[in-house]
C-alpha cells in the first residue's frame, strides 16, 4: 500500500514539474482556436491538487493577490452582462490563463539561479514573438512611410487567426507587445557581471559561456524586435518604445534627462507655432484610411459614455464594437467599420469591467511599481537591478502605447503582462530574504 502511495506521489511530482509545458501548449491552442478544452481545465485542476498534496502549498502568496482576486471575481459579472459570449468568452479565458501563468512563474522562481534561467527562457520567447510578428502580421503599407519593396518580400506563414480582419496578427497589437519587450531586452544589454547560470557546477568557464550565450540571444531578440516594431508603423508602439528606451538611458546616465527637457521645450514651441493640431493628427490617427484626430476623440467619448452608463458592471469584456454601434453610434466611423476597443488601456478596462475592475487594474500597476522599487533598493546586484529596470521600463513603454491604443484585458499577447507582474512579485519576495 505504501509503495502504491509513493508511486502516486512520484507521478504527482512529475505532473507538477510539467505545469509550464502544459500551460504553454494550452495557450498555443487557445491562440489558434480561441478555445480552451474542458479537459485542459480538468488537467490544470489536477496539477494544482497534485502540488497541494506533494508540497502542502496550493499557491504562493504575493503582494498582487488582492487586485488579481478582484479581477477574477468581476469576470463572471462581466460575462453575465455581456451581449455576446462569443466575444467575451475568449477574453475571460485569456485573463484566467494569464493568472495561471502568473502563479506558475511565482512558484517556479525561488533563487537567483531560477531567475537567471527564467530570463534565459524569456529571451527565447521574445525571439519567437518577434519572428511570429515578422511572418504573421497584417502589414499596413504607407501608414507612416511607404515601403512596398519590403512588405512585398516578407513571407507570410501565419493565417486564419480567429477574429482577425485579414487573417494575421493586428499590427498595433504586435507593436504594443514589442513595446513591452524591447526595453526589457535593452536593459539586459547593460547588465554587468553576467547571469552566472549554474556557476557552481560549471565553473568560471561555464559561467562565461552562459553569459556569452545570453548576450547573443538578447542581441538577436532586440534586433528582430526593433525591425518588427518599425515595420508595424504603429505610432503608439514606436512612441512607447522610445519612452522606455529613454528611461533606461536616464537610469544609466542622468545626462539623458536633458532629452526630456529638450523634448518638452520643442513640444511647447510647436504648440505656440500653431502646429499642435498637426502633431495631434499624426500621433492619434486611427487605423482606417479616413481616420483622424476627431475620430480617435470620438472613440474615447463613446468609451466614457459607456463607463458613465455602466459604472459597476461594465459592458461585458470585449464587446466595445457591438455596444458602441448599437447604443452610441459613431458620426465619423462607418456603421460597418470595426472599432474593437476604446483605444486607451485604462479606459478600456473601465469599459469592460466597470470602475471596480479599473481600480483593481490600477492597483496591479501600482503594486507592480512598488514591488520593483522595493526589490531595487534591497537587491544590490547590478544584473538583478538591470532586470528590474527592464521590467519597469517595458511596462512604462507599454502603458505609453496604451494612452492612444489598448490591449483588451485578456487579449492573447496580454499573457506577457502577467509574466511581468509575476517577475516583479519574485524580486519583491527576494528582497525579503
* pLDDT tens, residue by residue, 295-310: 888 999 999 999 999 9
Beta bridge partners of 169: 137
d(CA 82, CA 276): 39
Helix orientation angle between 415-431 and 171-189, rounded to the nearest 10 degrees: 30
Kind plus residue range of the DSSP H or E element containing 224: helix 199-232
Environment class of 314 (CB within 10 Å of its CB; exposed 0-12, middle 13-18, buried 19+): buried
pLDDT of residue 312 exceeding 60: yes
Statement: residue 196 has pLDDT above 50? no
Closest CA to 416 of 154, 122, 196, 201: 122
Reported as a pLDDT band with limits 50, 70 and 90, residue 142 is: low
Q: How many CB atoms lie within 10 A of CB 171?
A: 23
Lowest mean per-residue pLDDT among 29-43, 264-278, 368-382, 388-402: 264-278
What percent of the chain lies above the pLDDT cut of 70?
A: 84
- Asked if 126 contacts 220 with a C-beta cutoff of 8 angstroms, the reply is no
Q: What letter does residue 344 receive in the DSSP assignment? A: S
pLDDT at 207: 52
Lowest mean pLDDT among 117-126, 281-290, 296-305, 358-367: 281-290
Grid cell for residue 14: 512529475
* Dihedral sign (CA 418, 420, 421, 422): positive
As separate numbers, helices (DSSP H) first and strands (DSSP E) second, the chain gives: 17, 2
pLDDT tier at 365 (50, 70, 90 boundaries)? very high
Q: What is the pLDDT of residue 200?
A: 43
pLDDT band at 170; cut points 50, 70, 90 = confident
Predicted local distance difference test score (pLDDT) of residue 131: 94
> Residue 400, SS3?
helix
More confident residue, 226 or 171: 226
How many residues are there in the chain?
A: 433
**Exposure on the CB side of residue 134, measured as CA atoms within 13 A:** 18
Residue 152 reports pLDDT greater than 70 = yes
Distance CA 327, CA 108 (A): 46
Rounded to two decimals, the pTM is 0.90
What rounded mean pLDDT belongs to the chain?
85
pLDDT score of 183 more than 90:
yes
Question: What pLDDT is stored for residue 263 in this prediction?
Answer: 66
Burial of 362 (0-12, 13-18, 19+ CB in 10 A): middle
How confident is residue 82, by pLDDT bands cut at 50, 70 and 90?
A: very high
Count of CB atoms situated within 10 Å of the CB of 39? 9
12 vs 49, higher pLDDT = 49
Share of the chain above pLDDT 90, in %: 52
User: What is the pLDDT confidence band of residue 193, given thresholds at 50, 70 and 90?
Assistant: very low
CB atoms < 10 A from the CB of 161, how many? 19
More confident residue, 290 or 46: 46
Write out pLDDT tens, residues 265-294.
766 776 667 656 666 666 666 554 455 677
Q: Which of 55-59, 118-122, 146-150, 365-369 has the lowest mean pLDDT?
A: 146-150
**340: pLDDT strictly greater than 50:** yes
CB of 299 closer than 8 Å to CB of 342: yes
CA atoms 265, 143, 240, 149: torsion sign: negative
What cell does 102 get? 502568473
Cβ atoms of residues 368 and 420 within 8 Å: yes
Amino acid at each position: 500500500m505504501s509503495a502504491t502511495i509513493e508511486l502516486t506521489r512520484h507521478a504527482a511530482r512529475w505532473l507538477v514539474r510539467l505545469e509550464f509545458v502544459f500551460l504553454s501548449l494550452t495557450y498555443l491552442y487557445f491562440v489558434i482556436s480561441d478555445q480552451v478544452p474542458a479537459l485542459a481545465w480538468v488537467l490544470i485542476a489536477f496539477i494544482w491538487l497534485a502540488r497541494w498534496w506533494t508540497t502542502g502549498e496550493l499557491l504562493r502568496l504575493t503582494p498582487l493577490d488582492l487586485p488579481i482576486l478582484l479581477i477574477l471575481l468581476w469576470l463572471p459579472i462581466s460575462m453575465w452582462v455581456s451581449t455576446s459570449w462569443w466575444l467575451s468568452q475568449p477574453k475571460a479565458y485569456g485573463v484566467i490563463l494569464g493568472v495561471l501563468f502568473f502563479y506558475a512563474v511565482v512558484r517556479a522562481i525561488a533563487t537567483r539561479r531560477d531567475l537567471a534561467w527564467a530570463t534565459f527562457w524569456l529571451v527565447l520567447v521574445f525571439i519567437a514573438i518577434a519572428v511570429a510578428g515578422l511572418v504573421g502580421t497584417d502589414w499596413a503599407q504607407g501608414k507612416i512611410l511607404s515601403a512596398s519593396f519590403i512588405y512585398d518580400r516578407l513571407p507570410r506563414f501565419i493565417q486564419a487567426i480567429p477574429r482577425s480582419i485579414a487573417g494575421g496578427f493586428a499590427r498595433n497589437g504586435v507593436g504594443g507587445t514589442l513595446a513591452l519587450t524591447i526595453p526589457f531586452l535593452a536593459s539586459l544589454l547593460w547588465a554587468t557581471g553576467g547571469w552566472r547560470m549554474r556557476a557552481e557546477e560549471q565553473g568560471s568557464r561555464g559561467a562565461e559561456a552562459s553569459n556569452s550565450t545570453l548576450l547573443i540571444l538578447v542581441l538577436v531578440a532586440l534586433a528582430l524586435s526593433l525591425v518588427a516594431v518599425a515595420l508595424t508603423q504603429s505610432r503608439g508602439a514606436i512612441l512607447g518604445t522610445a519612452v522606455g528606451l529613454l528611461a533606461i538611458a536616464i537610469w544609466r546616465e542622468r545626462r539623458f534627462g536633458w532629452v526630456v527637457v529638450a523634448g518638452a521645450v520643442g513640444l511647447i514651441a510647436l504648440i505656440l507655432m500653431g502646429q499642435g493640431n498637426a502633431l495631434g493628427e499624426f500621433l492619434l490617427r486611427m487605423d482606417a484610411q479616413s481616420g483622424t484626430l476627431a475620430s480617435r476623440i470620438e472613440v474615447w467619448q463613446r468609451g466614457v459614455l459607456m463607463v458613465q452608463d455602466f459604472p459597476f458592471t461594465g459592458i461585458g469584456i470585449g464587446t466595445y464594437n457591438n455596444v458602441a454601434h448599437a447604443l452610441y453610434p459613431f458620426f465619423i466611423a462607418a456603421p460597418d467599420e470595426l472599432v474593437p476597443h476604446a483605444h486607451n488601456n485604462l479606459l478600456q478596462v473601465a469599459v469592460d469591467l466597470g470602475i471596480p475592475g479599473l481600480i483593481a487594474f490600477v492597483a496591479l500597476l501600482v503594486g507592480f511599481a512598488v514591488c520593483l522599487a522595493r526589490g531595487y533598493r534591497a537587491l544590490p546586484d547590478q544584473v538583478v537591478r538591470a532586470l528590474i529596470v527592464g521590467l519597469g521600463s517595458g511596462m512604462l513603454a507599454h502603458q505609453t502605447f496604451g494612452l492612444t491604443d489598448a490591449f483588451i484585458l485578456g487579449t492573447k499577447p496580454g499573457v506577457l503582462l502577467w509574466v511581468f507582474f509575476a517577475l516583479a512579485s519574485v524580486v519583491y519576495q527576494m528582497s525579503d530574504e
